[in-house]
Amino acid sequence: MKIVVLVKQVPDSSLERHLSSDDFTVDRASASNVISEIDENAIEAALVLAEETGGEVTVLTVGPDHATESVRKALSMGPDKAVHVVDDAIHGSCAVTTSKILAGALGKQEYDIVLCGAESTDGGTQVMAQMLSQRLGIAALTGARKLTVDGGKITVERQTEDGYQVVSAAAPAIVSVWDSMNTPRYPSLKGIMAAKRKPVETLSLSDLDIDPATVGAGAATSTVVSAEPRPPRGAGQKITDEGSGGSSLAEFLASEKFV
Amino acid sequence: MAEVFVVATGANKLTYEMLTLARGLGEVSAVVLGAPGTAASIADNLAEYGAAKIYAAEDEALDKYLVAPKADALAALVTAKSPAAVLVPSTQEGKEIAGRVAVALDNGVLTDVTGLEADGTATQEIFAGATVVKSKVAKGIPLVTVKPNSVTPEPAPATATIEAVEVSVADSSKLVTVEETVVEPKGDRPDLTEANIVVSGGRGVGSAEQFSVIEEFADLLGAAVGASRAATDSGFYPHKFQVGQTGTTVSPQLYVAAGISGAIQHRAGMQTSKTIVAVNKDEGAPIFEIADYGVVGDLFTVLPQAGEEIRKRRG
């Protein structure tokens, strides 16, 4: 089984993140960049599937030069090879055009299943799997917390706000996963060493037959017109419980009309 | 006046919020995507919140297959009626439908919008609520998903007419079969995303059994129960109640965080709450930096004592 995992490099969400002041794109230059957290669950799911089916795992990313670090990190977990779409014209692309680039890159790959995180930790839009499904005409099984493959039939337990759904489709399909699905493995030292020698193919827009004028900030279907830091949320009153902390809390809640 | 579409998922608060928000943009039309009979069952509710027209895009296929047929039906209706804007609930399904429609119509899409002006300028809170951005759809009409708890629903009774819409679903949209839909019992507690008050427990609760102290306090306040990722990862509480970056985002009037340190992952899911109360043994816990009222103490003594006092006040 051939598996492609979509990986996005994002600014570390455990640190402060910013938009660039000039074009309101995500400031990656000053950030500590990492693999979007839930994508690591997608990599883990891909590796487990590959182990079960004797498959091959390819990492696919669209991003600037320094996304290579995340590609190597992903490879150190165990995938076989990687494809990195990099082109200056991509900077500032919206989700709609990013899906066009990813669909173009997937068009050059052989795959039975495409795996990705259900959302990225920066954009958090949850739209990419369905956008790719729409573009490629393949099934999208989204929000998986459990994934099973039986022959050509893919079944997913899809986490919903109200509970869950069991949904199924025939391959090829794109499956987006939540972090509740598994615990990503840590790269071993052997894995880190091996990752350095794994093939990483670099593709430009022309390799994908995509006109640079149709992507990037200039062609974005949505734009940010202003960005302001949220006014800092100052700490309020803080008391130490010396026997009547609960009563004081009740008094506060009453004064704020919550009781 | 131009027509504005609101994708209505039922007689629920988020639908009423969207209907309220849409009134500032034009003539409000609700769009119901579902099995036959869905629109009629909620028509009165939609009219009460200002829907002058209800488009009933109804077909068995819309519930049988996942998301794609609903997106097909919505995209076709948008093409036929050229509304001034389309509002979709910012739920998992809503965002997915919006994403497909955006690709189908080559139209921009903005997700998790908390405000929308008449000229289409949308407000979004990004980076865990740390940055407030104003955005616009640059190609096509404003297609936005609206985050729960963004506006206060206000009734504006209208007389609604139901217009049946023919639905045609492409074969390529029937690729995913929904085999089973399981609604897990919520009990009597309000829904996490819609609750006015949320009481959440974290690692400090210590065990699944001891989560009852959180539940009791929540029930006393008529609140929803939430949990931090540390608590759900430890198996103290079901994953679907997780509040945070990778869980549910909440924005209630009151958020009570008990035994939660306040890692950025968690703050991402709750820091737009109006009032934040924190109870934690560790006086250095980062949650205190954003709490309007913090109690440094043991949640197992503080919460029951507060509960006792609240009962007394109520007589």
Residue B77 pLDDT > 80, yes or no? yes
| Angle at the Cα of B120 from the Cα atoms of B117 and B126, rounded to 5 degrees | 80
Cβ pair A230:B129 closer than 8 A: yes
Give residue-wise pLDDT tens across range B190-200.
989 889 999 99
Q: Does A194 touch chain B (CB under 8 A)?
A: no
pLDDT of A234 reads 79
pLDDT of B185 reads 79
A226 beta partners: B134
Instruction: Identify the domain containing residue A93 by its residue range.
Output: 2-219
Least confident of A53-62, A110-119, B90-99, B246-255: B246-255
pLDDT of A239 reads 96
User: How sure is the predictor about A27, in pLDDT bands with cuts at 50, 70 and 90?
Assistant: confident
Kindly state the average pLDDT of the residues A84-104.
97
3-state secondary structure of B201: strand
Look over chain A and give the mean of its residue pLDDT values, rounded to a whole number.
94
- In A, residues 105-134, which contact B (CB 8 Å cutoff)? 121-122, 124-131, 133-134
Interface test with A, best of B116, B246, B281 (most A CBs within 10 A): B246
Cβ pair B302:A227 closer than 8 A: no
Q: What is the CA radius of gyration of chain B?
A: 21
Kindly state the average pLDDT of the residues A127-144.
97
Percent of chain B with pLDDT over 70: 100
Does residue A203 sit within a domain? yes
Residue A23 pLDDT > 90, yes or no? no
Kindly state the average pLDDT of the residues A79-91.
97
Does residue A235 sit within a domain? no
Contacts of A235 in chain B (CB under 8 A): 288-291, 294
CATH T-level topology, domain B3-173: Rossmann fold (3.40.50)
Give residue-wise pLDDT tens across range A161-183.
888 999 999 999 999 999 889 99
Q: ipTM of the assembly?
A: 0.93
| Pick from A15, A124, A179: CB nearest B112 | A124
Cβ pair A125:B309 closer than 8 A: no
Cβ pair B111:A248 closer than 8 A: no
Residue B100 pLDDT > 80, yes or no? yes
Cβ pair B135:A138 closer than 8 A: no
Half-sphere exposure of A191 toward its Cβ, with a 13 Å CA cutoff? Answer: 15
Give residue-wise pLDDT tens across range B105-140.
999 999 999 999 999 999 998 887 788 999 999 999
Q: Is the peptide bond before A172 cis (omega within 30 degrees of 0)?
A: yes
pLDDT of B33 reads 98
Kindly state the average pLDDT of the residues B169-180.
95
**How far apart (Å, rounded) are the C-alpha atoms in residues B257 and B226?**
9
Give residue-wise pLDDT tens across range A214-251.
999 999 999 999 999 888 777 899 999 999 999 999 99
Find out whether B172 and B71 touch, Cβ atoms under 8 Å.
Answer: no
**How far apart (Å, rounded) are the C-alpha atoms in residues B208 and B225?**
13
**How far apart (Å, rounded) are the C-alpha atoms in residues B168 and B29?**
21
Contacts of B138 in chain A (CB under 8 A): 220-223
- Give Cα A240 distance to the centre of its chain: 41
Per-position DSSP letters for B233-275, written without gaps between them = HTTSS-GGGBBSTTSB----SEEEEES----HHHHHHHTT-SE
| Pick from A135, A222, A253: CB nearest B110 | A222
pLDDT of A92 reads 92
Percent of chain B with pLDDT over 90: 87
Q: Quick one: which of A108, A112, A166 has its CA closest to A141? A: A166
Give residue-wise pLDDT tens across range B241-274.
999 987 888 989 999 999 999 998 899 899 889 9
User: How sure is the predictor about B187, in pLDDT bands with cuts at 50, 70 and 90?
Assistant: confident
Q: Indicate if B197-314 has the same CATH topology as B3-173.
A: yes
Q: Quick one: which of A163, A212, A220, A109 has its CA closest to B185? A: A163
Q: What's the total number of domains in chain A?
A: 1
User: What's at B32, amino acid-wise?
Assistant: V
Structure tokens at B197: 């008050």
B124 marked as binding residue: no
Residue A16 pLDDT > 80, yes or no? no
pLDDT of A17 reads 83
pLDDT of A13 reads 78
Residue A38 pLDDT > 80, yes or no? yes
Find out whether B270 and B256 touch, Cβ atoms under 8 Å.
Answer: no
User: How sure is the predictor about B295, in pLDDT bands with cuts at 50, 70 and 90?
Assistant: very high
**How far apart (Å, rounded) are the C-alpha atoms in residues B36 and B164?**
10
pLDDT of A20 reads 85
Q: How many cross-chain Cβ pairs, A to B, lie less than 8 Å apart?
A: 289
Q: What is the CATH number of the domain that holds A198?
A: 3.40.50.620
Site of tokens 């865990």:
B128
**How far apart (Å, rounded) are the C-alpha atoms in residues B300 and B137?**
49
Find out whether A103 and A209 touch, Cβ atoms under 8 Å.
Answer: no
| Angle at the Cα of B25 from the Cα atoms of B54 and B4, rounded to 5 degrees | 30
User: How sure is the predictor about B280, in pLDDT bands with cuts at 50, 70 and 90?
Assistant: very high
Does residue A236 sit within a domain? no
Going A123 to A128 to A130 to A131, the CA torsion angle's sign is positive
Residue A83 pLDDT > 90, yes or no? yes
Does residue A239 sit within a domain? no
3-state secondary structure of B56: strand
Interface test with B, best of A237, A253, A256 (most B CBs within 10 A): A253
Cβ pair A239:B296 closer than 8 A: yes
Give residue-wise pLDDT tens across range B33-64.
999 999 999 999 999 999 999 999 999 999 99
Does residue A62 sit within a domain? yes
Phi/psi of residue B126, each to 5°?
Answer: -115, 175
Does residue A35 sit within a domain? yes
Does residue A234 sit within a domain? no
pTM: 0.91
**How far apart (Å, rounded) are the C-alpha atoms in residues A152 and A181?**
21
Contacts of A245 in chain B (CB under 8 A): 279, 295-297, 301-302, 305
Number of Cβ within 10 Å of residue A23's Cβ equals 12
B266 marked as binding residue: yes
| Pick from A18, A220, A254: CB nearest B313 | A254
Kindly state the average pLDDT of the residues B11-36.
96
> Could you report how far apart the first and last alpha carbons of chain B are, in Å?
53
Q: Does A10 touch chain B (CB under 8 A)?
A: no
Q: What is the CA radius of gyration of chain A?
A: 21
| Pick from A94, A169, A173: CB nearest B108 | A94
| Pick from A163, A168, A169: CB nearest B182 | A163
Exposed/middle/buried for residue A204 (C-beta within 10 Å: 0-12, 13-18, 19+): middle
**How far apart (Å, rounded) are the C-alpha atoms in residues A92 and A215?**
8
Least confident of A16-20, A156-160, A187-191: A16-20
CATH T-level topology, domain B197-314: Rossmann fold (3.40.50)
Q: Does A214 touch chain B (CB under 8 A)?
A: no
Does residue A206 sit within a domain? yes
B225 marked as binding residue: no
Q: How far is CA B18 from CA A64, A226, A235, B30, B55, in A?
A: 38, 23, 32, 10, 16
Cβ pair A235:B245 closer than 8 A: no
Going B143 to A178 to B183 to B268, the CA torsion angle's sign is negative
Look over chain B and give the mean of its residue pLDDT values, rounded to a whole number.
94
Cβ pair A221:B308 closer than 8 A: no
* Domain range summary for chain B, segments of one domain joined by +: 3-173, 197-314
| Pick from B135, B309, B314: CB nearest A246 | B309
